[in-house]
């Protein structure tokens, strides 16, 4: 019976397949195989023994049900793995499995393989989403809209600026994934307290050889675990990605509000239902789900950071916690990346409403430009600010166009003609360097991925 929504509602096949139990078992078998190969190459165990272990270190032979059965008896997952693999090996090869290793050598090294696969999936989707936002930035770099600060109309901007801003942030998230992969995805084969004592003087060479076989960098130093600041960093990167997706979805939700309705997510009028009781509703459910799930991803950061301080060389308090937060964080982050790709690929623009909202304040949004042009024409900046502020307050209070109010001021007429003011009040021509900024983001993006 399915209980957790990840089992039936949230997640993508590609990320779920990485974290499902059989793949996790295979990754642990891969590490046991790499250990035997490394030991054979360094003359610790016979080559034919390592070859036999390698040939049987597969879920084709070592079945998950059998390993789980043994674990129920032993109450130890890695002991169960070792016994399950040993049962499949011919001759005395089973006697050599796991020599010189401790359980967490297998756990942490195999988890590094899982993380590596997970990060590759996340990176591909961050790239894809960034490219979608870059395309939207290019297509809409001249689509003028109202910019809002503190929820209030501020100055004109463009949708190109919005999308380019998000694309630039996604690039930083991609870079953070890359950096976290370097720190997190490492191999270790260092024994009970990290000294490789069971393997003698050749232990450190075994450690490095195992890493080479697994195609992972060797951890520089461990004590029985790869230090959990690396795992916390990865969890924080996923939380940061989730926050970027939350930001994007929140903005789209706000822009889809009935009284704004500048853009929104696609609604299928033939099939989709917005409300069980209100037939007219077309709710931003995709964006809302992104925002909701992002909260869950962010919540894992505290647990991940608390897993770093362990007793002495280690204790087991991190283990049970990580069995939950690692797969869930990867699956849910990947899931909302997928949702955001869907959301951004099917945006609906309402151009009439964009223009309506741009002019909603009767020209108040051009107050800064009026002040700046008066200053350029010779009026003192503070004087210009005071006059425009006075006029803006009057226009707002009496619901009059700022254009009309400003022209009642004799002080203004000394510096600006009616025609000057008319040009100044056009929001489509007050965009500063916005087009250049977007173009530079687009140009630099060619080297991103």
CB atoms inside a 10 Å sphere around CB 227 = 17
320 carries an active-site annotation: no
Among residues 4, 76, 275, 377, the one annotated as catalytic is: 275
Count Cβ neighbours within 10 Å for each residue of 235-271 and write b for 16 or more, e otherwise.
bbbbbbbbbbbbbbbbbbbebbeeebbbbbbebeeee
**What backbone phi and psi angles, to 5 degrees, belong to 21?**
-60, -40
* Residue in 423, 421, 426, 413 with CA at minimum distance from that of residue 378: 413
150 carries an active-site annotation: yes
CB atoms inside a 10 Å sphere around CB 428 = 11
Among residues 150, 280, 312, 433, the one annotated as catalytic is: 150
- C-beta separation of 55 from 92 below 8 A: no
- C-beta separation of 49 from 92 below 8 A: yes
Contacts of range 299-303, beta carbons closer than 8 Å, 24 or more positions apart: 300/235, 300/238, 300/239, 300/325, 300/328, 300/329, 301/232, 301/235, 301/236, 301/239
- Token pair for 182: 């370097």
- Active site members: 150, 275
């Amino acid at each position: 019976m399915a209980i957790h929504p990840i089992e039936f509602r949230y997640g993508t096949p590609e990320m779920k397949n990485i974290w499902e139990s059989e793949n996790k078992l295979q990754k642990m078998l891969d590490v046991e195989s790499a250990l035997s190969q490394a030991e054979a190459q360094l003359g610790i165990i016979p080559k034919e023994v390592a070859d036999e272990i390698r040939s049987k270190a597969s879920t084709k032979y070592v079945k998950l049900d059998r390993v789980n059965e043994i674990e129920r008896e032993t109450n130890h997952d890695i002991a169960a793995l070792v016994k399950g693999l040993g049962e499949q090996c011919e001759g005395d090869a089973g006697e050599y499995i796991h020599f010189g290793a401790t359980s967490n050598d297998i756990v942490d090294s195999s988890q590094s393989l899982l993380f590596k696969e997970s990060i590759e999936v996340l990176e591909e989707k961050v790239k894809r989403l960034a490219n979608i936002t870059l395309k939207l930035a290019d297509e809409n770099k001249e689509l003028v809209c109202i910019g809002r600060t503190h929820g209030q109309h501020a100055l004109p901007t463009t949708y190109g600026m919005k999308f380019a801003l998000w694309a630039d942030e996604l690039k930083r998230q991609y870079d953070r994934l890359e950096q976290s992969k370097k720190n997190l995805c490492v191999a270790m084969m260092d024994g009970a307290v990290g000294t490789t004592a069971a393997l003698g003087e050749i232990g450190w060479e075994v450690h490095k050889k195992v890493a080479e076989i697994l195609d992972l960098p060797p951890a520089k130093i461990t004590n029985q675990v790869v230090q959990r600041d690396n795992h916390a960093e990865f969890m924080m990167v996923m939380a940061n990605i989730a926050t970027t997706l939350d930001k994007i979805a929140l903005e789209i939700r706000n822009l889809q509000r009935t009284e704004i309705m500048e853009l929104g997510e696609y609604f299928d009028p033939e099939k989709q239902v917005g409300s069980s009781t209100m037939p007219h509703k077309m709710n931003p459910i995709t964006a809302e789900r992104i925002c909701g799930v992002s909260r869950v991803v962010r919540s894992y950061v505290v647990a991940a950071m608390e897993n770093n301080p362990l007793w002495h060389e280690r204790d087991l308090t991190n283990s049970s916690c990580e069995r939950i937060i690692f797969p869930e964080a990867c699956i849910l982050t990947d899931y909302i990346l997928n949702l955001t790709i869907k959301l951004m690929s099917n945006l609906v623009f309402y151009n009439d409403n964009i223009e309506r909202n741009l002019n909603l304040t009767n020209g108040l949004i051009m107050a800064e430009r009026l002040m700046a042009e008066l200053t350029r024409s010779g009026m003192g900046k503070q004087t210009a600010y005071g006059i425009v502020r006075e006029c803006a307050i009057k226009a707002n209070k009496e619901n009059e166009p700022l254009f009309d109010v400003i022209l009642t001021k004799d002080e203004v007429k000394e510096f600006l003609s009616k025609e000057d003011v008319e040009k100044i009040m056009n929001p489509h021509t007050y965009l500063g360097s916005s087009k250049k900024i977007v173009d530079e983001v687009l140009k630099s993006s060619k080297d991103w991925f």
